[in-house]
């Protein structure tokens, strides 16, 4: 890991060490993705099958997973895995049910304003697959959508070489209330969900993580349908004081580093002793890690240890980093939580590994990366809700606002807007219509 000492190297060097670029996509990949999108839009299912045979399984002959296979998926799982998925699903559902909101209205002086809050009709979840299975991603994306009231949730995931989808993914889909699973991966899955094909329905929003091709497709099709975010490689920032256990610090850094060589891990601490012990502990833990080569490359090329002068300085660097995962391994984590401004998820205290957030705690693990926690939130119930503004004026309320409305419309050069008010003022019969404030009680 790169080593930076704020006192020796300066604040700017520390900032440079922890800040990451957003999703950066090679122009050649963008061109390839645009070609895939065009092909899927033109040829639909035929293009999907052809691309699936090229990239995933040579024997791919259908796009939809048989509902009977979905129903039987749980029987093919080890009991412990099945039970763990069920426990995770219950925690995720309970957390997101607490986020639900309803439509609201305010009324005063003959005016009603408010919002109708309605779920999206259909959502597509992209789940990476092929060489690995990610049932947790199904739960973390699909359950919040169903809790929000989304009528139809479908999943797209690439198949393994033998043409199968992991039974763990299929069982997670059943637990989450997914209506259909399609054997499609990559940019072509995003295109199919955005435009629709004979087999795959067009959706209102696409969510879920993916590789660079998936991110490029999401960026290219943003506006054709909505997207959750452009998620890049994972990252963790650990803020540790002198009370931290170097074994825990090292393990938390490795947790994200083992995902991918492009992932990043940062240790920010005012304790030189903790920094030095953690470095040694990382080497010891890497020796027995099955994914050692991946984690080692990530830590060597994209990791950094920054020794700060104070804990407050470490927290300020964490805000500048705006990490996907922020771990506070400090004596009083709740005491410093109010200083956290930018993070996707915060793990507080020595006994809260990121593993809990990734699988079981309840909040979705679909989080903003690459510093985008400065302006994006984790996937949540609101991700799947849309708001419609409601405005209703009684005659008296319009009369009270008329002069201001006409002045503003005229100032902007929109005489038609001003006329819409004047016409009502010149009407020779006062309306008997009043705004019924009781609508507020029934509008939900």
Catalytic positions are 324-325
Residues 6 or more apart whose Cβ sits within 8 Å of residue 409: 415, 417, 418, 421
Cβ proximity of 138 and 169 under 8 Å: yes
Quick one: how far is CA 118 from the chain centroid?
20
Q: How far is CA 413 from CA 194, 416, 424, in A?
A: 39, 9, 20
SS3 content of the chain, % helix, strand, coil (to 5): 50, 15, 35
Q: Where are the beta strands (DSSP E) in 294-413?
A: 303-307, 325-329, 345-348, 385-393
Question: Which contacts of 315-321 are long-range, i.e. CB under 8 A and separated by 24 or more positions?
Answer: 315/239, 315/268, 315/339, 315/340, 317/14, 317/15, 317/18, 317/268, 318/18, 318/237, 318/239, 318/268, 318/342, 318/343, 320/15, 320/18, 320/19, 321/18, 321/19, 321/20, 321/235, 321/237, 321/266, 321/371
């Amino acid at each position: 890991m790169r080593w930076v000492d704020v006192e020796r190297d300066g604040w700017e060097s520390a900032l440079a060490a922890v800040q990451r670029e957003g999703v950066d996509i090679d122009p050649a990949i963008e061109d390839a993705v645009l070609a895939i999108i065009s092909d899927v839009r033109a040829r639909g299912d035929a293009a999907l099958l052809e691309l699936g045979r090229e990239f995933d399984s040579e024997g791919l002959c259908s796009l939809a997973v048989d509902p009977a296979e979905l129903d039987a998926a749980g029987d093919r799982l080890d009991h412990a895995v099945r039970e763990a998925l069920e426990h995770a699903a219950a925690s995720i559902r309970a957390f997101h049910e607490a986020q639900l909101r309803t439509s609201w209205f305010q009324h005063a002086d003959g005016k009603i304003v408010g919002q109708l809050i309605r779920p999206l009709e259909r959502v597509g979840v992209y789940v990476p697959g092929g060489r690995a299975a990610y049932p947790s991603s199904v739960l973390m994306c699909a359950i919040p959508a169903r809790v929000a009231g989304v009528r139809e949730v479908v999943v797209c995931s690439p198949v393994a070489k033998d043409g199968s989808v992991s039974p763990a993914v299929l069982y997670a889909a059943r637990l989450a209330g997914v209506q259909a699973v399609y054997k499609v991966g990559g940019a072509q899955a995003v295109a199919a969900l955005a435009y629709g094909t004979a087999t795959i329905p067009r959706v209102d929003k696409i969510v879920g993580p993916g590789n660079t091709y998936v991110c490029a497709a999401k960026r290219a099709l943003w506006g054709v349908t909505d997207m959750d975010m452009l998620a890049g490689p994972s990252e963790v920032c650990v803020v540790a004081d002198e009370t931290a256990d170097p074994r825990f610090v090292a393990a938390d850094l490795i947790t994200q580093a083992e995902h991918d060589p492009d992932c990043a891990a940062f240790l920010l601490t005012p304790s030189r002793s903790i920094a030095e012990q953690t470095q040694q502990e990382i080497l010891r833990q890497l020796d027995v890690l099955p994914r050692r080569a991946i984690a080692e490359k990530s830590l060597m090329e994209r990791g950094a240890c920054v020794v700060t002068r104070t804990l407050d300085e470490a927290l300020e660097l964490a805000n500048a980093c705006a990490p996907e995962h922020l771990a506070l391994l400090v004596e009083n984590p709740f005491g410093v939580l109010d200083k956290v401004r930018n993070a996707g998820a915060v793990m507080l205290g020595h006994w809260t590994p990121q593993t809990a957030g990734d699988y079981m705690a309840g909040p979705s693990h679909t989080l903003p990366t690459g510093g985008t926690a400065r302006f994006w939130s984790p996937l949540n119930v609101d991700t799947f809700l849309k708001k419609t503004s409601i405005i209703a004026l009684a005659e008296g309320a319009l009369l009270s606002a008329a002069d201001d409305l006409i002045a503003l419309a005229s100032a902007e050069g929109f005489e038609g807007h001003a006329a819409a008010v004047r016409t009502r003022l010149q009407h020779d019969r006062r309306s008997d219509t009043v705004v019924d404030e009781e609508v507020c009680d029934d509008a939900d």
